């Protein structure tokens, strides 16, 4: 199959809208990362997402909409709790996924769970595609399972070339990490994945939100993940990544002492000039938005360059940095060295 990369012209949006309605897969831009979309109402189409990505069948997908009224129109959930309504009002359209009790969504989407994840993206091209398809779209990130999520159409082409008919190029993603995932299906709302909407922002609207163990820590043997996706290593580059928790000086000394040809530093912008190994800066120290925007592209470049060992500067864990920390700690397989 030839994979065509299309610009979001009116004609092309109609082409991919029909393709989606007819059960085909399309790579679509969103403000977070690129998605691999299929008609969420068509179980067979959704199955082909799992094949194209090599995704484990027990990992459920997010259903994307372009208008809140579609939740009712397509009977996506059995009820919308009051706190979900408050979250929708505050953060939609935007990088927040809300898990609620499911309605008439095919089991292929929810991996058999009794809940469904719903998201209303803010990228104007995503909205035009969903509206043209006139069906909600099930879409995971458009990477091969286990690879960093794609933040450009080129990343999607790299992973999906020959496997899907179309990719729509909507430019580089602004947020750069996947949406925040919160469940309101249980007693207390619980953050399952940190993203562009922060824990602090969520709590500002609905009060206390629990944080699932898997967000910041490695699950113990036998412990079950509240969100199936969190149990996988994920975002794993081929290089061996070790995170170093230290101040500027200690980090730089530690890396420079270990300098060799296969070694590199995944560092803050400010660290570069003092490091004697190849550097992959992922943003300025306090610029969490830049870090989130760049992290996946940098992880992909580390792989392309065949780096063997990467010493990463451990990100902070508050605000938007929690999302960056959550992704990097997985890329590092939870290997952290703390220098006092």
In sequence order, the β-bridge partners of residue 100 are 116
Closest to ligand TXA by CB, 116 vs 264, is 116
Closest to ligand TXA by CB, 311 vs 325, is 325
179 binds, among ligand TXA, Mg ion, none (CB under 5 to 8 A by kind): ligand TXA
Q: How far is the CB of 72 from ligand TXA (least distance, A)?
A: 19
Cβ-based neighbours of 52, under 8 Å, separated by 6 or more: 25, 36, 160, 163, 164
Q: How far is the CB of 76 from Mg ion (least distance, A)?
A: 20
Considering the rule CB under 5 A, would residue 292 count as an interface residue with Mg ion? no
Q: How far is the CB of 39 from ligand TXA (least distance, A)?
A: 15
Beta-sheet pairing, 115-119 with 137-138 = unpaired
DSSP 111: T
192 binds, among ligand TXA, Mg ion, none (CB under 5 to 8 A by kind): ligand TXA
> Which chain residues interact with ligand TXA by CB under 6 A?
30, 32-33, 35, 59-62, 97, 99, 110, 113, 115-117, 119, 139-141, 178-179, 181, 192-193, 227-230
Q: Is 179 within 8 Å of 62 (Cβ atoms)?
A: yes
Q: How far is the CB of 269 from ligand TXA (least distance, A)?
A: 25
Q: Which tokens go with 283? A: 């943003």
Closest to ligand TXA by CB, 183 vs 263, is 183
Q: Which tokens go with 81? A: 């709790």
Cβ-based neighbours of 89, under 8 Å, separated by 6 or more: none
How many CB atoms within 10 Å of residue 207?
11
**Residue 240 Cα distances to 44, 78, 162, 174, 192, angstroms:** 37, 44, 29, 27, 26
Q: How far is the CB of 68 from ligand TXA (least distance, A)?
A: 16
Find the binding residues for Mg ion in span 93-152 (CB under 5 A): 141
Closest to ligand TXA by CB, 93 vs 315, is 93
- Positions that interact with Mg ion (CB under 5 A): 141
């Amino acid at each position: 199959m030839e994979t065509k990369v299309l610009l979001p012209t009116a004609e092309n949006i109609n082409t991919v809208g029909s393709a989606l309605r007819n059960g085909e897969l399309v790579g679509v831009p969103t403000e977070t990362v690129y998605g691999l979309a299929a008609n969420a109402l068509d179980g067979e189409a959704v199955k082909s997402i799992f094949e194209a990505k090599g995704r484990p069948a027990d990992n459920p997908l997010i259903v994307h909409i372009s208008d809140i009224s579609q939740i009712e129109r397509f009977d996506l959930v059995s009820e919308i709790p009051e706190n979900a309504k408050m979250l929708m009002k505050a953060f939609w359209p935007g990088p927040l996924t809300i898990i609620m009790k499911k309605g008439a969504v095919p089991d292929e989407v929810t991996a058999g769970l009794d809940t469904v994840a719903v998201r209303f993206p803010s990228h104007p091209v995503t909205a035009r595609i969903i509206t043209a398809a006139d069906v909600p779209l099930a879409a995971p990130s458009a990477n091969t399972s286990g690879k960093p999520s794609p933040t450009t159409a080129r990343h999607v082409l790299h992973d999906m070339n020959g496997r899907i008919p179309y990719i729509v190029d909507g430019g580089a993603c602004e947020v750069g990490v996947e949406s925040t995932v919160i469940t309101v299906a249980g007693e207390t709302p619980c953050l399952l994945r940190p993203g562009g909407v922060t824990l602090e922002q969520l709590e500002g609207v609905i009060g206390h939100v629990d944080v699932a163990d898997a967000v910041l820590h490695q699950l113990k043997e036998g412990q079950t993940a509240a969100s199936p996706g969190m149990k996988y290593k994920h975002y794993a580059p081929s290089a061996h990544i070790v995170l170093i928790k230290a101040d500027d000086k200690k980090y730089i000394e530690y890396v420079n002492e270990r300098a060799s040809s296969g070694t590199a530093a995944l560092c803050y912008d400010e660290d570069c000039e003092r490091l004697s190994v190849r550097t992959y800066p992922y943003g300025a120290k306090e610029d969490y938005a830049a870090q989130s925007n760049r992290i996946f592209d940098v992880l992909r470049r580390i792989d392309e360059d065949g780096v063997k060992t990467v010493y990463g500067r451990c990100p902070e864990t508050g605000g938007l940095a929690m999302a960056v920390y959550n992704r990097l700690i997985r890329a590092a397989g939870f290997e952290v060295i703390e220098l006092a």
